[in-house]
Amino acid sequence: MDTGTPGVKNSVHMEFPSLPENVGFARASVAFFASQLDFTLDELDEIKVAVSEAVSNAVVHGYPQGPGPVVVDVSATEAGELVVQVADRGTGIEDVEQACQTSFTTRPGERLGLGLTFIKEYADRLEVTSRPGEGTVVTFRKRPQPAAVSQG
Amino acid sequence: MDTGTPGVKNSVHMEFPSLPENVGFARASVAFFASQLDFTLDELDEIKVAVSEAVSNAVVHGYPQGPGPVVVDVSATEAGELVVQVADRGTGIEDVEQACQTSFTTRPGERLGLGLTFIKEYADRLEVTSRPGEGTVVTFRKRPQPAAVSQG
Amino acid sequence: IGEIRRYLRDNNPIRVSRSLRDVAYKALQVRDALVHRYAREPSVRQIADELNLPREDVVFALDAIQEPISLFEPIYH
Ligand SMILES: Nc1ncnc2c1ncn2[C@@H]1O[C@H](COP(=O)(O)OP(=O)(O)O)[C@@H](O)[C@H]1O
Ligand SMILES: Nc1ncnc2c1ncn2[C@@H]1O[C@H](COP(=O)(O)OP(=O)(O)O)[C@@H](O)[C@H]1O
Ligand SMILES: [Mg+2]
Ligand SMILES: [Mg+2]
């Protein structure tokens, strides 16, 4: 809870078991929270995709053996930026740089290896920290884009 | 987090500062979580009202001096019941029985004293525990009603 | 992302109640109207204000007409 952190205007902390149905919960809840900033519908969709991918990874890769705790922290900074952090205490990642490469997956045939690539694409900044056996923390930031003049 | 509590199928824990904009966040997030049970849209609306009233009370009465932590725990039991708990560590309530009476409010003129009455009306069960100076916990339970035959 | 929107609109196997669909439909209509009026993409907040609905309700309704857990890597098949 970030009531008093300097630079943070509002924040929500969430915890839930890594059940597939909670991917949708996290996606929607972060979108509800994000709607207090000036995001367009398309930007909100990008945020939803990024959250889905990060939480799906915790479900599928973080806890392959069964449900474990997923923690999502979302905040809105005074500067109008959305910060989303998805953390698990699961398997962790051996080589983070490799994991972030497009099409890299430890489950070839079954998955496409595009999740982290999409997050990187849709967020302004992505940070992944992980230790094998200890878990993974994915943090991404996104600001509403200054309104572009729409092509009629 | 209730991954392993017997009788609990799924649960989410949320924490946020008692800012007015978080009333809408809590209302929508709990309704989204509730939609994994077989509630009708009308029942989901009742759940939204109950959550709004409980969280508004934490904002307005629990922390009159400024934002403090609000904790919302929602779970879905194996038996298909929704359990919602809203807790604050604010002012607390002197006389809980009186607070639950229709039209009782400690802010007459400004408020209507109907919040807890609405929760009691819309939930199957309401429990309020509170200690002055320590805070308040409001817990309500609701099950989807067996589908009535629709009137043509 | 325009493609994503289309994908989401066209792949909606789950039943979504009439009234959620109505809110979502109105939100998309208002969005188009605002794009027209101001020649730029409105924020969700502006759409909700225009509809006189809580922001979260608009987001909820739009989410309801979408649904897939993960566009690219569904957990369930
Ligand atoms: N939370 C996580 N816990 C453990 N490993 C992860 C996690 N997130 C990502 N990874 C690793 O990074 C790889 C790439 O992730 P991603 O780009 O989402 O592709 P995919 O999920 O399709 O494999 C995964 O295959 C997995 O090995
Ligand atoms: N979370 C809370 N913390 C402190 N007091 C509370 C809380 N919730 C309710 N109360 C007390 O109970 C009374 C009745 O609550 P309610 O039925 O919601 O009516 P209202 O909010 O309109 O006063 C409030 O006026 C307040 O004194
Ligand atoms: Mg992935
Ligand atoms: Mg009240």
> DSSP labels for B39-82?
--HHHHHHHHHHHHHHHHHIIIII-TTS--EEEEEEEEETTS-E
> How confident is the model over C48-72, as a mean pLDDT?
82
Contact between A118 and C42 using a beta-carbon 8 Å cutoff: no
Q: Is B96 helix (H, G, I), strand (E, B) or coil?
A: helix
Which chains pack against A, by 3+ Cβ pairs within 8 A? B, C
B3: nearest CA in chain A? A17
Q: Is A71 in the pocket of ligand 1 (CB under 6 A)?
A: no
Residue B45: CB atoms within 10 Å: 14
Residue A12 in this model has a pLDDT that exceeds 80: yes
Does the structure's ipTM exceed the value 0.85? yes
Q: Give counts: helices (H), strands (E), chain B.
A: 4, 5
Q: How far is B24 from chain C (nearest CA, A)?
A: 7
Measured from the CB, is residue A52 less than 6 Å from ligand 1? no
Query: Which fold is adopted by the domain A8-142?
Result: Heat Shock Protein 90 (3.30.565)
Q: What is the pLDDT of residues B133-152, one digit of tens each?
A: 999 999 999 999 987 665 54
pLDDT tens readout for residues A106-142: 999 888 999 999 999 999 999 999 999 999 999 999 9
Q: Which long-range contacts (CB under 8 A, 24 or more apart) does A35-38 make?
A: A35/C44, A35/C45, A35/C48, A35/C55, A35/C56, A35/C58, A35/C59, A36/A10, A36/A76, A36/B21, A36/C45, A36/C55, A37/A76, A37/A80, A37/A81, A37/A82, A37/A143, A37/A144, A37/C43, A38/A80, A38/A144, A38/C43, A38/C45
Tell me how crowded residue C51 is: count the other CB atoms within 10 A of its CB.
17
Q: Of ligand 1's atoms, which has the minimum distance to the CA of residue A117?
A: 17
Contacts with B112 (C-beta within 8 Å, 6 or more apart), sequence order? B103, B105
- Coil, helix or strand for A7? coil
**Cα A71 → chain centroid:** 11
Active site residue B57: yes
On whether the CB atoms of residues A23 and A52 are closer than 8 A, the answer is yes
What is the distance between the alpha carbons of residues A121 and A73, in angstroms, rounded to a whole number?
Answer: 20
B115 CB within 6 A, ligand 2: yes
Does the beta carbon of B32 lie under 8 angstroms from any beta carbon of chain C?
yes
pTM: 0.92
Better-predicted residue by pLDDT, A123 or C9: A123
Contacts of A25 in chain B (CB under 8 A): 12, 29, 32-33
Using one digit for the tens of pLDDT, what is the confidence trace for A40-49?
999 999 999 9
In ligand 1, the atom with minimum distance to the C-alpha of A112 is: 22
- Touching C (3+ Cβ pairs <8 A), the chains are A, B
Q: CB count, 10 Å around CB of B62?
A: 24
Task: Give C71's pLDDT tier (boundaries 50, 70, 90).
Answer: very low
Judged by a CB distance cut-off of 8 A, whether residue A18 touches chain C is: no
pLDDT at C18: 74
pLDDT at residue B92 tops 60: yes
* Residue C16 scores a pLDDT above 80: no
- B:53-92 residues touching chain A, CB 8 A cutoff: 67-69
Decide: helix, strand or coil at residue A140.
strand
Closest chain A residue to C60, measured at CA:
A28
Total residue length of chain A: 152
CB distance B116 to B126 below 8 Å: yes
Is A53 one of the catalytic residues? Answer: yes
Instruction: Note whether B69 contacts A1, CB cutoff 8 Å.
Output: yes
Q: How far apart are CA A68 and CA A60, in angstroms?
A: 11
Reply yes or no on whether A10 is catalytic. no
Q: What is the pLDDT of residue B141?
A: 98
Active-site position among A10, A89, A111, A141: A111
Measured from the Cα of B90, ligand 2's closest atom is 3
For the stretch A120-124, contacts whose Cβ atoms lie closer than 8 Å and that sit 24 or more positions apart, written own/partner, are A122/A46, A122/A47, A122/A49, A122/A50, A123/A46, A123/A50, A124/A81
